[in-house]
Homo-oligomer: A and B are copies of this chain.
Amino acid sequence: MSMAISFLSDFGLDDEFVGVVHGVLGRLAPASRVIDVTHGVARGDVRAGSLALLRAVQYLPQGVVLGVVDPGVGTDRLPIAIETEFGFFVGPDNGLLSPAVAVVGGASRAVVIDNPEVRIPSRGATFDGRDVFAPAAALLASGGAKFEDLGSPIDPAVLTPQLLPLPEVSEGSVSGEAWWVDRFGNVETNVSPEDLAAAGIAEGDRVVVTVGSQSREAPWVRAYGDVDEGLPLLHVDSYGMIALAVRSGRADQFFGLGEGTAVRFVKD
> Interface residues, chain A, CB within 8 Å of chain B?
4, 6, 8, 11-20, 22-24, 26-27, 30, 33, 35-40, 43-44, 52, 55-56, 59-61, 71-76, 122-127, 130-131, 182-184, 186, 193, 222-226, 235-240, 243, 245, 248
B23 to A40, Cβ gap below 8 A?
no
A59 to B23, Cβ gap below 8 A?
yes
Write out the residue numbers on chain B whose beta carbons fall within 8 Å of the beta carbon of A72. 225
A123 to B239, CA, bound (A): 7
Q: A124-B235, A224-B74 are in contact. Are A37 and B13 (CB under 8 A)?
A: no
Q: A35-B19, A73-B223, A74-B226 are in contact. Are A131 and B184 (CB under 8 A)?
A: no
Chain A contact residues, majority secondary structure: loop
Q: A19-B37, A23-B60, A30-B4 are in contact. Are A127 and B73 (CB under 8 A)?
A: no
Q: A183-B15, A238-B127 are in contact. Are A6 and B23 (CB under 8 A)?
A: yes
Q: A37-B19, A248-B71 are in contact. Are A183 and B235 (CB under 8 A)?
A: no
Tell me which of B17, B61, B224 contacts A126 (CB under 8 A): B224
Q: Which residue of B lies closest to A22 (CB)?
A: B35
A43 to chain B, nearest CB (A): 6
A130 to B13, Cβ gap below 8 A?
no
Q: Which residue of B lies closest to A40 (CB)?
A: B14
B126 to A235, Cβ gap below 8 A?
yes
Tell me which of B16, B123, B193, B239 contacts A38 (CB under 8 A): B16
B71 to A183, Cβ gap below 8 A?
no
Write out the residue numbers on chain B whose beta carbons fall within 8 Å of the beta carbon of A52. 15-16
Q: List 21 A-B contacts (CB under 8 A).
A: A6-B23, A8-B19, A13-B38, A14-B182, A16-B37, A16-B56, A18-B38, A19-B35, A20-B56, A26-B61, A27-B59, A27-B61, A30-B61, A74-B223, A74-B224, A74-B226, A122-B238, A124-B236, A124-B238, A124-B240, A125-B223
